[in-house]
Chain A
Amino acid sequence: MPIEVLMPALSPTMEKGNLAKWIKKEGERVKAGDVIAEIETDKATMEVEAVEEGTLGKILVPEGTEDVAVNTPIAMILAEGEDAAALKSNGKSAHAPAQSQPAEQQKAAESAPPAAQESAAKTARVPAAPKPAEAAPPEPQVQPEPEVPAGTEMVTMTVREALRDAMAEEMRRDDRVFIMGEEVGEYQGAYKVTQGLLQEFGPKRVVDTPITEHGFAGLGVGAAMAGLRPIVEFMTWNFAMQAIDHIINSAAKTLYMSGGQMQCPIVFRGPNGPAARVAAQHSQDYSAWYSHIPGLKVIAPYTAADAKGLLKAAIRDPNPIVFLENEILYGHSFPVPKLDDYVLPIGKARIARPGKDVTLVAWSMGMTYALKAAEELAKEDIDAEVIDLRTLRPMDTETIIASVKKTGRAVTVEEGWQQSGVGAEIAARIMERAFDWLDAPVLRVSGKDVPMPYAANLEKLALPSVAEVIEAVKAVCYR
């Protein structure tokens, strides 16, 4: 369905304005964020940005038109596969696309229990706590979040640049650190994350490999055992399926199998998660896969600051680390504190948005859905708290539980599949540790239970959406 572009408001009180100029012409391709037109009032001018990728199908209000009422459709954007014939001449037929919901999602919403059960749960007897194991594993020691001194300059940078800076800083600090992977050197990285590293550190420390994921993952493990600090870049985590044997059987188990004699300090990193239109083999989320494995630490940052601070921590950590980046987030910009040595604690979640009505738990790309949904929900008077997990293993259960005890409701958001997913694990922990505080079952918003389809409309359907997050929140809030 074509998407309407509406006349925006420059201020809450603005009722109408002039359409000064069309920057894009009919038939031109636009990306989300492209400036397509300029509008003005007697007080100010403003640029209108496209909200979706597509083709500017029809201009409904010509430039130079004065007194255009706010929310009047001014143009139509055609999604891929649509042509201008899809547009009725008056543009009235086109509304925002109806969100088509898979059956499971609807059922999940319908199956939310009536509020009457709430009191029963509250008064139910508390089950006996599970008997503690003879020797419980030690709780991971989490370092405190570093103080960012007041007045610290914030630099806006992309996640891509933040990752590069983290590696460069650690390579300057410790000459045992080196990076290897396909195209990391001469080509400057398949996604340009290693830009400039070859020039600064030379080919001995920035090593182009042949296409041998299984081979070079194992080689990295050997180098780590022999005293180096390798960073192994996978062009994408999809190709690390070949190397998962070494990541799990070699890296994750070395310390345990050697009775604590031998460490394996290594960082496996690269882009993870669904990318755009590359279909089933190149578009999937490995969060759950790796966070299942004892012996690994698994990090999946969302912001550039977290990407930098956590990658530096990962490179210094004595354990094997799986560092899950996101291809789509590489180009997103965030403020990063300008500090000489910005290192963040592994295993500590961040409250990205405080709230009181419901807890949203997400990480990496899932944060984009969670934050947008929280914004929309605020308009309907639902105040969502958004937790960015940042580290998946060890998971910061404390922060989640404390939030749920405050809100009584939780929704998890992930791009991966539901079965045995990270959301399932979070729901289980909440159930185990905050059952009596829950006012509704925990719901999970996730990627659909299918391999990633290629076709544009099916891909969109297979991914989680802001609308699904909103729907899940309303279900747990009985709204």
Chain B
Amino acid sequence: MSRVSNQAARVLGMLRTMHVIREFEEAAGRAWHAGHVRGSVHQYVGQEAIAVGVCANLRPTDYISSNHRGHGHSIAKGADPVGMMKELFGRADGTCGGKGGSMHIADFSIGMLGANGVVADGATIAVGAAQAIKILRQDRVAVTFFGDGAINRGPLMESFNWAKIYNLPVLFVCEHNGYAATTRTADVTAGEGFVARARSFGIDGESVDGNDLLAVDAAAERLIARIRAGGGPAYLFATTYRHHPHNTRDTGNYRTQDEIDRWKQKDPIARTTAWLLSQGVAQEEITSIENEARALIERAFEAALVAPLPSPSAAYTDVQDVGAPQ
């Protein structure tokens, strides 16, 4: 790479991660339809700019918590996509030893406190982590990612309240893709929605176009800096769209093709690519990033296919910590 700005170099790195996430999600979908992965897989395709733009402003020691659509958050925070793919395949050397699966991926080594199969439960966990950060006087922040489906859940309101009254270092990231599973969120939401809810607890923040990586990155940078400086909880409300149905079992027939096509015009990867080209980054460079990401995920897929199943004895381990009391 030659003679592009520092910012373009940073954005190119983020584009690489977005491609890894997209390739991972498409491969996960293929693996589900081929029967290698079971349960249900919630793909993050179309929403990549949010995880990547936010996590680019986090340190390895910072915490995140996630939801059922959590693969993108894990990868953006630094989880190994090969281990994650093996986890989806239920293999011994998956991120969680094959015992968690898609909706329970957690990687404590990078501060990823877990995807979560219960809507909004990740928010309470992140606020609890933020409470610990404060009590332990650590220089960390906690970020929780959730969808607009979570904004009508009690635990989220409880999280807002707790985070505010204790002035905790936590960023609430609402990924507004318009649907609470298969139901239009607007149809089942009273009042003015997420931003008003957060504000009613005295929490403010920023609303951004979640498909605009630069906008997400800039807003996250400002908000996280403010949180680190002791400014207390904040929200980031990012409007986006998932290209795929709710999960691999869902036909998605409650959305019109026209709606999907309109949103695909605003694809975050295409927009980031266009911006980089306008900044003088060569097309070959972008193509090679894309190819690298595809090759990485193809290797992950192949590795997962031949990885060993957990030993039967693994069924009985880790039920309790049997080490010495601490």
Contact = CB atoms under 8 A, between A and B. Distances in A.
A316 B104 CA distance: 40
Contacts of B189: 210
A215 B190 CA distance: 14
B57 interface: no
Interface in A194-229: 208-212, 214-215
Contact of B91 (A209, A214, A455): A455
A100 B152 CA distance: 46
Complex A-B, nearest 8 residue pairs according to Cβ-Cβ distance, in ascending order: A277-B38, A454-B101, A455-B90, A210-B152, A455-B98, A281-B117, A210-B188, A279-B101
Interface string A83-114: 10000000000000000101000000000000
Given A81-B309, A282-B103, A448 B35 contact: no
B183 interface: yes
A83 B36 CA distance: 11
A334 interface: no
B218 interface: no
B315 A80 contact: no
Interface in A158-207: 182-183, 186-187
A479 to B, nearest CB: 26
B117 to A, nearest CB: 4
Overall SS of chain A's interface: loop
Nearest to B306: A83
B319 A450 contact: yes
Nearest to A278: B39
B149 interface: yes
Nearest to B37: A277
A402 interface: no
A80 B36 contact: yes
B36 A458 contact: no
Interface string A430-454: 0000000000000000001111011
A350 interface: no
A448 B306 CA distance: 28
B187 interface: yes
Interface residues of B, number: 43
A142 interface: no
A280 interface: yes
Given A81-B309, A454-B90, A279 B100 contact: yes
A454 B181 contact: no
A457 interface: yes
A458 B183 contact: no
Contact of B315 (A55, A187, A282, A461): A461
Contact of B39 (A209, A214, A454): A454
Contacts of A277: 38-39, 90, 101
Interface residues of A, number: 41
Given A281-B118, A455-B91, 7 more contacts: A210-B185, A214-B154, A281-B117, A454-B98, A454-B100, A456-B38, A458-B90
A429 interface: no
A187 B180 CA distance: 12
9 contacts: A208-B183, A209-B188, A214-B153, A238-B118, A277-B90, A282-B103, A455-B91, A456-B309, A458-B314
B181 A449 contact: no
A105 to B, nearest CB: 12
B40 interface: yes
A448 B313 CA distance: 12
A102 B39 contact: no
B316 A281 contact: no
Contacts of A449: 319
A23 interface: no
Interface in B157-200: 180-183, 185, 187-189
Contact of A455 (B104, B118, B183, B310): B310
A458 B89 CA distance: 13
A401 to B, nearest CB: 35
B35 A80 contact: yes
A277 B290 CA distance: 32
Contacts of B103: 278-279, 281-282
A208 B187 contact: yes
Contact of B117 (A80, A183, A282, A448): A282
A69 interface: no
Contacts of A238: 117-118
A102 B118 CA distance: 31
A277 B309 CA distance: 14
A293 B154 CA distance: 25
A211 B91 contact: no
Contacts of B323: none
B127 interface: no
Contacts of A29: 35
Contact of A182 (B91, B100, B181): B181
Contacts of B101: 277-279, 454
Contacts of A214: 153-154
B297 interface: no
Nearest to A462: B315
A216 B312 CA distance: 41
Contacts of A342: none
